[in-house]
Structure 1
Amino acid sequence: MNAKAGNEPKGSNAERLALRRRRMESGPAIFRGAFRPFFLGAAFWAIFTMCLWLGHVLGQIPGGFVSDALAWHRHEMLFGFVGAAIAGFALTSAPNWTGRLPIAGWPLATLFFFWCVGRVLPFGLADTSAALIALDGGFYLFLSFLIGREETHGRKRSLTICMVIAAFGFADILDRMEMAKWIDSAGLGWRAGIALVTALVMLIGGRLIPSFTHNWLLKQVRLDPTPTQPDLTDAIVMAVTIGGLLVWILARASGASGTLLMLAGLANFARLARWQGWRCLPCLPVFVLHLGYFWLALGLLLLGAAQFGWISESPAIHALSTGAMATMILGVMSRTSLAMTAREPSFNLAIASACVLITLAAIARVVAGLQIGQSFVLLVVAGFGWLGAFGLFLVVFGPILSSPRKGALGK
């Protein structure tokens, strides 16, 4: 070691980078970053869950594969598929917030195994099993603890994501308790889960979308005004939306929830317009995030209409889930996977096709919920569109996420 290196203080940047390299080299490539196993796990579970549900809808798989097929489908799409994507994104982003090392190697493998156990146990244990309830929701409580610990020791101390994930864990437990018939909360657990993820999409999307749009427009040498980071207007939109979601959780089918949610939908459409998504249509990795946010605004508007009894909640819930959540997840997972493996953040034909398929799936599912056309046919179209979208993600990113970082040995 030369003199300069020898004089570096303990805990220096060089020392930390060396530790990071040793940790990443200690295990398989798939455990060298949380985005790798959790993004692949999310895509696989999206496909597996939809296959079982489609088989049940088509009468090819009896509903007895779990005690309540509909409740299982709803729970696993939200707390399984969406939860895995949140875990992968949060753990990958945490080092940027904290300046600390990422979780990798056997600790990451153990955490991922913890998530997997929660997915498998319902096939072997009854819904009334305390172990199932504790392990399923406990994963998110432990994840919240890990991220909170990192943030409290890091250079930035913002516990917002940590608190949302903890609340998501409690919502998971509440939904499991209702599935076990220990309580009757009229769907409070899954509604809270939907509301929390919607708020998370609004929060993270509000940071990523204008930033990515601004950067892309600058690359095109566009000198006219470009989107900026969130300001007071965005804070007001978020406050109205969170207020509407809270009233929906606590006072469903009320005039207050309907009014606030419809205001939130209109406010988010206005927020989306400020980001000028039409200007980045040629850049699919950016435009797909605008598309996901469009579904969020539409979903809030439909959910507000449902509170007045004008429509059912089904199209609203699927606009938020199949539309906003799945589209944003597909876009963010694809972009993050490319960036973190040192590849160009541009979508090839397969990923572009996946974006089209998830959009078609969302349209078909929402239209079916509105009872327009042949509902059964639309449900099947939505299901196969979903399978095609996440199947293409696995085909494209399976080899990438299970291989070392491009051009950099050991990463």
Structure 2
Amino acid sequence: MGYYYYFDYCLNLFLFFNYILYLFLWIFNCEAQFFVQSKRKLTRVREREKEGDEHISNIIMYRCFHHFSTLPLAFVRRTAANIYVNRHIGPSAAESISMLRIIGKESLSDLMTAVIPENILRSPLKEAPAMSEQDALSLLHSLGSRNKVLKSMIGQGYDESKLTPPVILRNVIENPAWHTPYTPFQAEISQGRLESLLNIQSMIIDLTAMDLANASLLDQATACAGAMCLAFHHGRKERMTFFFVSRDVFPSCVEMVKTRAEPLKIKVVVGDPNLIDWSDSSLCGILVQTPDAMGMLHDFTTLFEKAKQHGVVSCCGTDLMASVLLKPPGEMGADFVLGSAQRFGAPPGFGGLTPHFLLSRRNLSDSFRVASLV
């Protein structure tokens, strides 16, 4: 029995090595065939390159370069670069020669010499000497210390407040009570969000002396466009398609109003509010602002009374911080009030999105509701 197991073991070992040998010969045969095919393909590539046709299949070249590594490295780099450039960026060699002949140049080097001034083409690059990271940081700090930090007075509706007031940060943003569930089975922040929106809407209503307030808008320009749509829908008549905008409104708001008015076929005129022609029956609304783009304060009480007498909707842009001390637009008689709440704790963020508001009188609530359908 011992000899039988020994003979069986030797036979299995012989069959295993025989299988390995056949597998090695099969792989060697495949590689030899591919070697021959690659050599033939590279021969065709060189022939086509001599003819000036460099638009060769990337797949063929990739396989040739990947498996046939005995090629000169310079040839591989030149051919691969030409394939990419000519197929995706520029012309072939024959096309380049044809274009150079048309403009009277022999080569691309001659063309560059004729186009680029000699003092730029021949002068060496001015490079600073190499330095360590610490030396580079010291140099950058010394250069930055030369800057004169001045206070920007050109906000155009955005204040340069960089920090959220601590009282708002502590009681609103960092207060976990806004994020806890109001029922044990509903772990969400909807209730806290609704309560915070109710608080800010109530605060804005108190500051502007208005009746209704929305939650928030994208920016003040969007609020101005929305106010124009409200005025247009309130006096929805074919003849009332004229909207007046004060020249002292922020330029971004004026451009947004013009853009939104174009598909609605509303004629927008920018000018002096004191020169409004109240006899024009097509006037549907006016838009003014205090403080305006130049920082001037206005009392539009008389202007809004005239607008009400002629059935014209009055829209007023304002600053909530100014409404704390000055007469609010609601007491002046404005029908719609809009503005920005960015000064109440939201950093500008490179002119990004900040909270903006749009308020209405209670008797204009129907127009306030259908404005979203515009």
- Return the index of the structure with the highest Cα Rg: 2
- TM-score of Structure 1 vs Structure 2, range by shorter chain: under 0.3
Q: TM-score, normalised by structure 2?
A: 0.20
| Higher relative strand content | 2
Q: TM-score, normalised by structure 1?
A: 0.19
